[in-house]
Amino acid sequence: MKNAGRLLFVVLLASVLSACAARGPEMKTVEYVDIERFMGDWYVIANIPTFLEKGAYNAIESYALNDDGTIQTTFTFRKGSFDGEKKQYNPKGFITDTRTNATWGMRFVWPIKADYRIIYLSEDYSQTVIARRKRDFIWIMARTPAIPEADYARMIELAESVGYDVSKIERVPQNW
Check residue 107 and give its pLDDT. Answer: 86
The model's pLDDT over 141-174, given as tens digits with 9 standing for 90+, comes to 999 999 999 999 999 999 999 999 999 999 999 9
> What's the CA gap between 124 and 129, in Å, rounded?
14
The model's pLDDT over 92-109, given as tens digits with 9 standing for 90+, comes to 999 999 999 999 988 876
Helix (H) or strand (E) holding 108: strand 103-109
Measured in whole angstroms, the distance separating CA 127 from the mean position of its chain's CA atoms is 14
Q: Which of 152, 155, 139, 146 is nearest to 75 (CA)?
A: 139
Range of weakest confidence among 22-26, 54-58, 155-159, 168-172: 22-26
Domains and CATH numbers, the chain: 26-171 (2.40.128.20)
Cα dist. 172→10, 81, 116, 132 in Å?
A: 44, 11, 19, 19
